[in-house]
Structure 1
Amino acid sequence: MAERAAPAMMPRRYSRHLLIPEVGLEGQERLLSARVMCVGAGGLGSPVLSYLAAAGLGRIGIVDDDVVDETNLQRQTLFTTADIGRSKVTVAAERLTAMNPHVAVDPFPVRLDASNARDLVRPYDVVIDCTDRFLSRYHINDACVLESKPDIYGSLFRFDGQVTVFNLNDGPCYRCLFPTPPPIDTVPTCAEGGVLGVLAGIVGAFQANEALKAILRIGEPLSGRLLLIEALSGSTREVRYARDATCELCGVEPSIVEVVDVQLEEPPPSDVPELDPDELKSAMDSATLLDVREPHEVVLGTIDGAVHIPSSQLLARMHELDSARTYIVACRLGQQSRWAIRRLEDAGFRKLLHLRNGLLGYAAYDAQLAIF
């Protein structure tokens, strides 16, 4: 990361900040000298990066190893149709530079993990977690605690969002709130559960606001306060939490002294054979496809001959299935189907197969199947 002098004050560009007593010249100079790392350049990263660049931060780092996909465009406002297939951090850097050429942008086209987290966050003053992966959240949090950086967290699911600030002024960390990861098959992402596009802008704007407050040292930060945003009702509420003295990372006697890989709890092992997506069609000659997606997912596309019982109705409708038949159990991405297989096994079904990577994986082999 090449160093350069902070940009000169530009009174006209930042005049609306200068008029605010709590910001003023001193505050704008703090922004101009601030260094912020944004991990994730997607739905949350788009508004965060846009507002921070417009605010005149001195340096912004962007970490993301992904490329722009058509499904991103519904909520990731930094990108256009012409950007599909391009590196997200490359496009984001171009957009921010066009928006404010006085901001230095450091693009990192890598995935933050246990091996590089501390090195990535170390040069920055504030870290903003705009990811949607539980493993990344633990890596970001652990690196921030070990490097003494505040971690501004946001998350999205369908119509609900969350925002809080970890590790600010000896406040609680992510592990104080979530000591252990959840089971792997209960962790939906935006790709699995969906998200209302505008909610990403709302939550991301809150994250950008918390970053500015931390840099300017104004207001009451959301440290120890989890803000819950409900888009359908237009309401918000807070859940307060405290630093945990027994926390393995920031507690009185920490046992975690380095960023470590976190293992999501695996579901109980199953002997059910796995089918690769390209094997599905031939397997259906002697087996029935059991599609456990929810009704709103099925309307996006299905396969002729499939039996559809949503996972949410499986226990109540299991009597409709014949335990003597062989079923290929499938969902959209391969997680809900694992849950369904365990329920079927508990009920005595033994002739089961599992479609690896779900119907979305199969769609890559069948151009007629429109599943996104």
Structure 2
Amino acid sequence: MASAQTPEEQRAADGGDAPPALTRLEIQRYSRQLVLPELGPGGQRRLSACSVLVVGCGGLGCPLAQYLAAAGVGRLGLVDHDVVELSNLHRQVLHRESRLATSKARSAAAALQELNSTVQCVPYEVHLSPSNALPLVRAYDLVADCSDNVPTRYLVNDACVLAGKPLVSASALRLEGQLAVYHFQGGPCYRCLFPKPPPPETVTNCADGGVLGVVPGIMGSLQALEVLKMASGIGTGLSRAMLLFDALEGRFRRIQLRSRDPACAVCGDHPSVTDLQDYERFCGSSATDKCRMLQLLSSEERISVEEYKKVLDSQDQHVLVDVRPSVEVEICCLPHSLNVPLSKLEGKDEECWKTLRQRICNVKQRTDDNMAFPVYVVCKLGNDSQKAVRVLQGWSHDGLGLISVKDIKGGLMAWASNIDPEFPQY
């Protein structure tokens, strides 16, 4: 399968006319980049004739779209079905407090129109899906994937390959980021590098793992740089490379990628993927950058926050283990909980296991009940707590007698939503 063409190559192949000459106001607006020999008036005209589909108006999409609009890209399609929330504002720089609960696509379009009214901004308040992705992708010259979730990454990649469009993709998490250009000038597509998705329980997004707001800002700006280079005809140095960013060390690293894989399922010589699929089923996870919910335990191994509240109200003796990292416990916690991070449980940290055993022994001494002693496990969302239950079920209970271990469904965020509205949500 042939690689995607540049916007200029596509227009030449279609017999399109040359873009019109720049106006006096365009020359004034873009003067600082027009004088660049690499760009010049010809590159600026190509930018104004180019259209870019931005998938996701969040931490990556906001700086990307802002710089594309500022540089004079002619048409921007803004895809996002979500609304602006308070927790978005530390990194999603196009949105404002005044637009909370507003569609992100419309919020971004409004901000971009204020920045550059000559750019056509088209908001799509839709969830990108196998039914609508191809028509959207085909309507634009270039695609920028700012979704930062695995099912959408595969969906956008496959749609770009099937539509013959180049894809600029970035991601950001915690203090790290990465950037690559796919399906362009003989380079690989995303599936060439990752033919199979990772197990869903191993995937972390910024809602789970956190992110420093400036990191997606940096990666979105670099993403915009590659889009502008490709759209203006300068080209890209990342069609067969991946750029990795370490914010803590202030370091960039470039990894060379192989060429297109002839055996790739979507862009290979004999593709098996010729239509868009059910990508949530393929990846085993939902297409969202919000907190995901895993289902690792049976219903008998879990209790609801309402049921746990009854345990507290009845003053039944038990131990509550909070398996979040200590930094999250500093944000908020239930005062009677014992913090034993999941990483230390899984790593068989001797001190943590000793502390847990001692707490259970101390509380258990207050009971005369011969029933299994209850140990409840909690985390932010009820995902890590399920993993911890599995670890504790394999724990040797020597000297403790019978132990019953259950996790609390929905975790502390469910506690805040359903039990205590004053409990902080983060």
Alignment of 1:117-266 (within 5 A): 117-242=133-258, 243-262=260-279, 263-265=282-284
1:134-169 Cα shifts (integer Å, max 9, x gaps): 111111111111111111111111111100111112
Deviates more, 1:320-329 or 1:138-147: 320-329
TM-score normalized by structure 2? Answer: 0.81
Question: Shift of the alpha carbon at 1:280?
Answer: 3.2
Q: Where does the alignment leave 5 or more consecutive residues of structure 1 unmatched?
A: 1-5
The aligned residue for residue 362 of structure 1 is 415
Pick one of 371, 377, 389 that aligns with 1:329.
Answer: 377
State which drifts further: 230-239 or 244-253. Answer: 244-253
Give the Å deviation of 1:265.
5.0
Q: Size of the alignment, in residue pairs?
A: 367
- In 2, Cα distance between equivalents of 1:210 and 1:130: 13
Q: Is the 8 A contact 1:300 1:371 kept in 2?
A: no
Equivalent residue in structure 1 for 2:74, among 49, 58, 70? 58
Kept after mapping to 2: 8 A contact 1:275/1:355: yes
> Contact between 2:296 and 2:386, CA under 8 Å: does it hold in 1?
no
Equivalent residue, structure 1, for 2:322: 291
1:33 alignment counterpart: 49
Instruction: Please state whether the residue corresponding to 1:176 is helix, strand or coil.
Output: helix
2:175–2:246 contact (8 Å) kept in structure 1: yes
Q: Is the 8 A contact 2:52 2:77 kept in 1?
A: yes
Hey, what does 1:338 align to over in structure 2?
Answer: 386
TM-score (norm 1): 0.92
Deviations 1:256-276 (A, max 9, x none): 111212333588953353434
Deviation string 1:47-87 (CA, Å, 9 cap, x unpaired) is 10100000111100011111111111111111122222111
Counterpart of 1:78, as a letter, is L
The gaps in structure 2 that reach 5 residues or longer are 1-18, 286-293, 362-371, 398-402
CA 1:222–1:27 in structure 2 vs 1: closer, same or farther (change >3 Å)? same
Aligned counterpart, 1:270: 297
Are 1:115 and 2:168 counterparts?
no
| Residue identity in the other structure for 1:309 | V
Alignment check: 8 A CA contact 2:171 2:179 kept: yes
Shifted more, 356-365 versus 24-33: the winner is: 356-365
Aligned position for 2:10: none
Identity of paired residues, percent? 41
Kindly state the Cα deviation for residue 180 of structure 1 after the two structures are TM-superposed. 1.4
C-alpha distance 152-354 of structure 1, shift in aligned 2 (>3 A): same
Structure 1 outlier segments of 4+, above 6 Å: none
Secondary structure of 2:283 counterpart: coil
Task: Please name the residue that 2:406 is paired with.
Answer: 353
Distance in 2 separating the partners of 1:190 and 1:110:
22
Write the letter of the residue equivalent to 1:328: Y
Which amino acid in the other structure matches residue 411 of structure 2?
Answer: G
Instruction: Tell me the residue number matched to 1:310.
Output: 341
CA contact (8 A) 1:292 1:331 kept: yes
Moved more, 145-154 or 312-321: 312-321
1:217 positional shift: 2.2
Higher mean C-alpha deviation, range 157-166 or range 298-307: 298-307
Gap change, CA 1:107 and 1:339, over 3 Å in 2:
same
Corresponding residue of 2:14: none
What SS is found at the alignment partner of 2:52?
A: strand
Does the residue aligned with 2:215 lie in a helix, a strand or coil? helix
Q: Say which SS state the counterpart of residue 131 (structure 1) adopts.
A: coil
Cα 1:346–1:256, aligned 2, differ >3 Å: closer, same or farther?
Answer: farther
Map of 2:289 onto structure 1: none
Question: 1:179 & 1:331 partners in 2: Cα distance?
Answer: 32
Deviations 1:285-326 (A, max 9, x none): 555332110000111111132222101111323452459432
- CA pair 99-341 structure 1, distance change in 2 beyond 3 A: same
Instruction: Provide closer, same or farther for how the CA distance between residues 115 and 338 of structure 1 changes in structure 2, counting only shifts above 3 A.
Output: farther
In the alignment, structure 1 residue 280 sits paired with structure 2 residue 308: yes
What SS does the aligned partner of 2:331 have?
coil
Aligned partner (choices 111, 114, 129) of residue 95 of structure 1: 111
Q: 1:275 to 1:116 in 2, by over 3 A?
A: farther
* Aligned residue number for residue 20 of structure 1: 36
CA distance in 1: counterparts of 2:305 and 2:276, whole angstroms:
35
Q: Give the secondary-structure state (helix, strand or coil) at the position aligned to 2:27.
A: coil
Greater shift after overlay, 192-201 or 246-255? 246-255
More off after superposition, 249-258 vs 317-326: 317-326
CA contact (8 A) 2:46 2:233 kept: no
Q: Whole-Å Cα distance in 1 between the matches of residues 109 and 284 of structure 2?
A: 36
* 1:3 alignment counterpart: none
- Distance verdict in 2 for CA 1:61–1:236, change over 3 Å: same
Return the alpha-carbon distance in structure 1 between the equivalents of residues 307 and 51 of structure 2: 50
Partners of 1:76 and 1:300 in 2: CA distance: 22
Q: Do 1:229 and 1:235's aligned partners in 2 also have CA atoms closer than 8 Å?
A: yes
| Cα distance in 1, alignment partners of residues 90 and 410 from structure 2 | 23
Q: Which has the larger radius of gyration?
A: 2
